[in-house]
Amino acid sequence: MRRAPSVILIVAAVVALGLVPVLAPPFYANLLVPFYGYAIALLGFNLLFGYGGLLSFGHAMFLGLGAYGAAVIAGVWGIKEFEIVLIGAALAGLVVALPLGWLVVRYTGIFFGMLTLAFGMLTHSVLFKFYHLTGGDSGMRVPRMRLLGLEFAAYNKIELMAGPFYYYCLALMLIAAFLMWRIVHSPFGLHLRSLRDNAQKALYLGVRVHQFRLAAFVISAIYGAIGGAILGFRTGLADPELVYWTHSGHLVFMTVLGGFSSFLGPIIGALALTLLQDQLQSYTQYWRFVLGAILALVVIFLPRGLAGLAADVGSFLSSPRRRPGPVQLPEHSQPGVLGPGLRRDDVA
Amino acid sequence: MSAFGNILLGGIFHAAVLFLVAAGLQLVFGVQKIVNLACGSFYALGAYFGITFVTLALKAGMPQWTLLPLLLVAGAVMAVVGPPIERILRTVYDRDESFQLLLTFAMVLMFQDIIRFLWGANPTSLDNVQLVYGKIVAGDFIVPVYNLLVIAAAIGAAALIGLFLQRTNYGRLLRATAENRTMAEALGVNVRGIYAAVFTLGTLLGTVGGALVVPTAAASLDMAVEVVIEAFAVVVIGGLGSMAGALAGSLLVGLIRAGSLVFYPEFEILAIYLIVIGVLLLKPSGLFGKPAA
Amino acid sequence: MKLSRRTVLKSIAATGAAATSPGVFAPAIAQAKPCRLGILAPRTGIAASPGISGLRATEWAVERFNAGGGIAGRKIELVIEEETSPKDTIERFQKLVQQDKVDCVLGIISTGVALALGPVVEESRALTIFWDGTTQDGVEEKLPNARYLFKSTDNECEAVMSSLLAIKHWKGQFKRIAGINPDYSYGRNNMAAFIALLKRFNIEHEVVTEQWPKVGTMELTSNVAALKAAKPDLIFSSLLFADLPVFMKQAAAAELTKGIKLVFPAAGFQHTLMKKDFTPEGMLFGHNTLYFDNPNATPMAKEFVAWYADKQKDYPNWEADRAYFALASYKAAVEAAAKAKGSAWPSNDDVIDAMVGLSVESLGGKGSWRKDHIADQTFVQGFSTHNNKYDFVTLDPARIETMYSADLQKPAGANFWEWLKTAQFKI
């Protein structure tokens, strides 16, 4: 995190992503649209988890909020401007996350995880039960929307997804990433990390623990809702599956796969899991097992995820003498040193 | 009045099964500080294996009345998955809780497919053996004896765990480890052994719970992820890590569910979550949990 | 269960090679590249059981068609993908269409997925035939003029049929009705349709309780107790997943089902789990579009059931018929269009035009395609009996009722609930 990721590499990656609709078969551009949704959501999620040390196991509820928000704004109210939907989704995230966050940020560690899980499942059953309002299991339709006021009438939805919307999402992700970069490198981000590493000490130093955590929670919710709106537009449907607890688990999976101790880790994880799942599903009907096994291996052997692996490989190549061990933990995950805030005894 | 009795017993029966799963969750959390998402998978494993085991045993000529012991044995046999999983978890004991939680989530994903591979995607059930012990009929009040036996088994399990933790030496070591692992280790407690034992016991509670519920239900692939959520509700209401909490929590969840079905069925699942949130607001550590703050 | 994609491809290749009687088109296009069909079916979760049944029927049909020369001389090759959440299923669908370049996509069971996939099908201009997943909220929807999409019969057909049969046979014998239905749109609509039809026929009734267990709930003793407390004369239930046998078992143990009328339009979903020990005789029992033990079945259907029982050690449920119907419709439409145009392989548009109005003898009886691309199929229901060679209940052969869905589903463009109020039903 401290070391700015190589600018050249990032530019190369963005260019490569930008070329996907041009060079790769249209299927891949379509496949990557949800990746952008997840990448944005996970940028926010990782502010909470990687930087704030708070593991939410109900974060999918915010994606659901964004998708249902899009369904209501564009479908029910008929406002088919995607920008307004994004703002609406962000506002919905804000409005829901404020009281919820106020309630849950008083806890850390496993208590925080269980609480968010409980709220996520409450949301799920509300979406399921009030089916006159929410469509129950069949969910709510998300209609096609205009982008920047443009209809793109010449494109059908698949072409829209693989062309204009693809670039729209890429731009959105870059903006979201830039903002997040500013956030985590601001005094706020520093405070947040200090809370994660030692809440007690930070409290003594005058850091307003709850307020900072609440702010992180709200920001992550807004990012989640924006990601959810993208998923909703892509799928054309907001459905309760989006909010089910296993979907929250997948968000955590992506983050850990990519590496939560790195700024770009969640984005890498979202990309890796999207491509991996696509390949695995074609290869075997037991892809869940393989995914589970991969997750277990990553957790055990690659605690810093793919981003950490890449960094190790990079530093190994540049200076063989300073080669790190194969399973070097991030500083804050080593035994004895505080983990990302998940210890019981640092509950303030 | 008899209707009330039926509903009450329905709720208690549900609570009994929930208690077993939640107790496994609590035990593992209490000692190892690991929230085991895979507890539901153990439950499903116990259910599927229970069906296979009982079907084979009955075919082999075991008398019908051995149903309950057979199921207990099936549950106990399936607890063999406990030690290897504990061995895998051991690699992350020193990491923070998110890694442990995720590793158990990986288990959930894997078990889903393992069960599908072994038993197929169709739900399966035991043929009607629920009534081998007969039923008690008093007017409109009807309850299969088997349901009462399950309730008794859950109470028995609760009592045994309580006695074990409070009265035996090993139980004291266990509580000491739960209280302060480093100190226990420094005093020569074999923490590694205790962890393995605790996790296996937690697994056992889950698999036995799954096996016991089988005569009255069916085994299906989604039972694993479904029961986790209810067990979590129990645990949050009762307080993380508390056995008394598991007991009170499961009773509360079982009875509320039964009650809301009669008075306002739409309320069923919501009622449980609302209680969860109510408890969190009023007594965040749960009814019996140690205060978190 | 062993139906992995690879084994299917392998077995199909094998039967293809062994085929001795090539069809009429074979000589001309002997070297034709195979006709690729994409299948989307659930393999896990609550809908796995019908998904597997449909996959097996597809496997059987492909073997059979390939042995007869394939479709218009082209051998069939399957690409199987899993139906999961709406979002992921759209991705799988696009993979089938854009990467695997399949000629037609068949499958889909869940209404939620069907709803999300409908517009994608239209925009992809990929001929797609749904097996199932047409619950009312989905039907009344926003795709009135589907061109590339062919949808299954309304999911509510079976509830309409059961309601009509209950009125026909039990009118005047019940007043207090109770419901226990799965808590999703299908269950809600079925119960509402039953009540609407009771009103339509001026049947005096009182709804004493409506239970909505969450799909997949395995612990229903409390629901049973609540139903018992309400003292109903009749229980209407469209439970259909693993919770159905569980409910029957727990209801039998509590003597809830003794001496009251039972209307279970979707019981056939779990037919082999409805053991005699706890499933009473005389209940109204729906088998949707395929009753495996139907004495009036065609030789082909009997052959299929025999193959299924022998190979899978199981008996097929209706999804097998839906899957066969979809595949056979596609084959018939392609061959009809090819014949009409005199071409070796017709264009997609010609196939679509040939589908409309087409009639096919499916496993469960006749089926055809309406102008609005919705299927009409034959529904079978009846009264349960213990008098059979199985350990589960079947239908009393003397009391089997068959209805064509033209009498059970709303006409094109109509609103389901309005239609229920005004339609002329044949009782």
Q: Which of C43, C85, C93, C139 to mutate to test the interface with A (most CBs of A within 10 A)?
A: C85
Asked, for residue B94, whether it belongs to a domain, the answer is yes
Query: In this model, does residue A290 exceed pLDDT 50?
Result: yes
Asked, for residue B134, whether it belongs to a domain, the answer is yes
Contacts of A234 in chain C (CB under 8 A): 87, 90
Residue A321 confidence (pLDDT)? 53
Contacts of B221 in chain C (CB under 8 A): 44-45, 48
Same domain, C94 and C208: no
pLDDT digits (tens, 9 = 90+) for A135-146: 888 888 898 899
> Residue A265 and residue A43: Cα distance in Å, rounded?
9
Give the sign of the dihedral formed by CA C411, CA C413, CA C415, CA C421: negative
- Against chain A, the chains showing at least 3 CB pairs within 8 Å are B, C
- The structural domain count of chain B equals 1
- In contact, C198 and C226? CB cutoff 8 Å: no
Residue A278 confidence (pLDDT)? 92
Domain that includes residue C395, residue range: 157-288+378-422
Number of Cβ within a 10 Å radius of residue C418: 10
pLDDT digits (tens, 9 = 90+) for B85-98: 999 999 998 887 88
What are φ and ψ of residue A98, in 5° steps?
-60, -60
C111 touches chain A (CB under 8 A): yes
Same domain, C385 and C409: yes
For chain A, give every domain's residue range: 28-346
Same domain, C149 and C162: no
Q: Which of B25, B35, B37, B97 to mutate to test the interface with A (most CBs of A within 10 A)?
A: B97
A156 touches chain C (CB under 8 A): yes
Asked, for residue C373, whether it belongs to a domain, the answer is no
- CB–CB of A141 and C142 under 8 A? yes
Residue C2 confidence (pLDDT)? 40
> How many CB pairs (< 8 A) connect B and C?
140
> Residue A302 and residue B86: Cα distance in Å, rounded?
19
> Residue C228 and residue B8: Cα distance in Å, rounded?
13
Query: For chain B, what is the total number of helices (H) and then of strands (E)?
Result: 12, 2
Domain that includes residue B23, residue range: 2-220
A80-89, B46-55, B104-113, B171-180: which has the minimum mean pLDDT? B171-180
- Residue of chain C nearest B266, judged by CA positions: C212
Same domain, C305 and C268: no
| Token digits of residue C373 | 């691309």
Cα Rg, chain C, nearest whole Å: 22
Number of Cβ within a 10 Å radius of residue A205: 10
Asked, for residue B117, whether it belongs to a domain, the answer is yes
Asked, for residue C340, whether it belongs to a domain, the answer is yes
Binned at pLDDT 50, 70 and 90, residue B293 comes out as: very low
Asked, for residue B66, whether it belongs to a domain, the answer is yes
Q: Tokens 């709303």 label which residue?
A: C410
Asked, for residue C130, whether it belongs to a domain, the answer is yes
Average pLDDT over chain A, rounded to an integer: 86
pTM above 0.90, yes or no: no
Asked, for residue C371, whether it belongs to a domain, the answer is no
Asked, for residue C368, whether it belongs to a domain, the answer is no
Asked, for residue C370, whether it belongs to a domain, the answer is no
Q: What is the ipTM of this complex?
A: 0.89
Residue B69 confidence (pLDDT)? 93
Q: What is the mean pLDDT of residues B11-19?
A: 92
> Residue C367 and residue C390: Cα distance in Å, rounded?
29
Same domain, C170 and C253: yes
Query: In this model, does residue B271 exceed pLDDT 90?
Result: no
What are φ and ψ of residue C350, in 5° steps?
-65, -40
What are φ and ψ of residue C184, in 5° steps?
-150, 175
- CB–CB of C225 and B128 under 8 A? no
Contacts of B123 in chain C (CB under 8 A): 49, 241-242, 245, 270, 273
Residue C392's beta-bridge partner residues?
C275
Binned at pLDDT 50, 70 and 90, residue C166 comes out as: very high
Residue C426 confidence (pLDDT)? 76
Residue C79 confidence (pLDDT)? 95
Q: What is the mean pLDDT of residues C87-114?
A: 92
Q: What is the mean pLDDT of residues C379-404?
A: 95
> Residue B122 and residue B119: Cα distance in Å, rounded?
8
Asked, for residue B226, whether it belongs to a domain, the answer is no
Instruction: Provide the b/e sequence for B236-259 (b: ≥16 CB within 10 Å).
Output: bbbbbbbbebbbbbbbbbbbbbbb
Asked, for residue C218, whether it belongs to a domain, the answer is yes
| Token digits of residue B129 | 């053996």
Residue B135 confidence (pLDDT)? 86
Q: What percentage of chain C has pLDDT greater than the value 70?
A: 91
A83-97, B163-177, C140-154: which has the minimum mean pLDDT? C140-154
- In contact, A56 and A45? CB cutoff 8 Å: yes
How close is the nearest chain B Cα to the Cα of A289, in Å?
A: 4
Query: In this model, does residue C138 exceed pLDDT 60?
Result: no
The helix or strand, by DSSP H or E, that contains position C115, with its residue range, turns out to be: helix C111-124
Spatial CA neighbour of A340 closest among B101, B33, B97, B92: B97
Q: Under DSSP, is residue C179 helix (H, G, I), strand (E, B) or coil?
A: strand
Binned at pLDDT 50, 70 and 90, residue A230 comes out as: very high
Contacts of A156 in chain C (CB under 8 A): 123
Q: Tokens 């239900």 label which residue?
A: B217
- Written in H, E and C, the secondary structure of A68-94 is HHHHHHHHHCCCCEHHHHHHHHHHHHH
pLDDT digits (tens, 9 = 90+) for C220-251: 888 898 899 899 999 999 999 888 999 999 89
- CB–CB of B236 and A114 under 8 A? yes
**C102 Cβ contact list (under 8 Å, min separation 6):** C36, C37, C38, C79, C96, C126
Q: What is the mean pLDDT of residues A285-302?
A: 93
A236 touches chain C (CB under 8 A): yes
Q: What percentage of chain C has pLDDT greater than the value 90?
A: 63
Query: In this model, does residue C373 exceed pLDDT 70?
Result: yes
Same domain, C260 and C346: no
Instruction: Provide the b/e sequence for C96-122 (b: ≥16 CB within 10 Å).
Output: bbbbbebbbbbbbbbbbbbbbbbbbbb
Query: In this model, does residue C383 exceed pLDDT 60?
Result: yes
C254-to-B143, B201, C272 alpha-carbon distances in Å: 6, 34, 22
The helix or strand, by DSSP H or E, that contains position A177, with its residue range, turns out to be: helix A164-184
| Token digits of residue A205 | 């130093």
Residue C312 confidence (pLDDT)? 85
Same domain, C199 and C282: yes
A78-to-A84, A143, A231, C137 alpha-carbon distances in Å: 11, 9, 18, 19
Residue B180 confidence (pLDDT)? 87
- Against chain B, the chains showing at least 3 CB pairs within 8 Å are A, C
> Residue A123 and residue A243: Cα distance in Å, rounded?
7
C142-146, C266-270, C331-335: which has the minimum mean pLDDT? C142-146
A34 touches chain C (CB under 8 A): yes
> How many CB pairs (< 8 A) connect A and B?
140
Contacts of A293 in chain B (CB under 8 A): 106, 110
Number of Cβ within a 10 Å radius of residue C258: 10
Contacts of C214 in chain A (CB under 8 A): 125, 128
- CA angle centred on A268, ends A266 and A269, rounded to 5°: 60
Same domain, C39 and C125: yes
- Residue of chain A nearest B266, judged by CA positions: A129
pLDDT digits (tens, 9 = 90+) for C181-209: 998 888 989 999 999 999 999 999 999 99
Residue A332 confidence (pLDDT)? 44
Residue C7 confidence (pLDDT)? 43
Query: In this model, does residue C25 exceed pLDDT 80?
Result: no
Residue C247 confidence (pLDDT)? 93
- CB–CB of B97 and A117 under 8 A? no
Asked, for residue C369, whether it belongs to a domain, the answer is no
Kindly report the length of chain C.
427
Residue A126 confidence (pLDDT)? 87
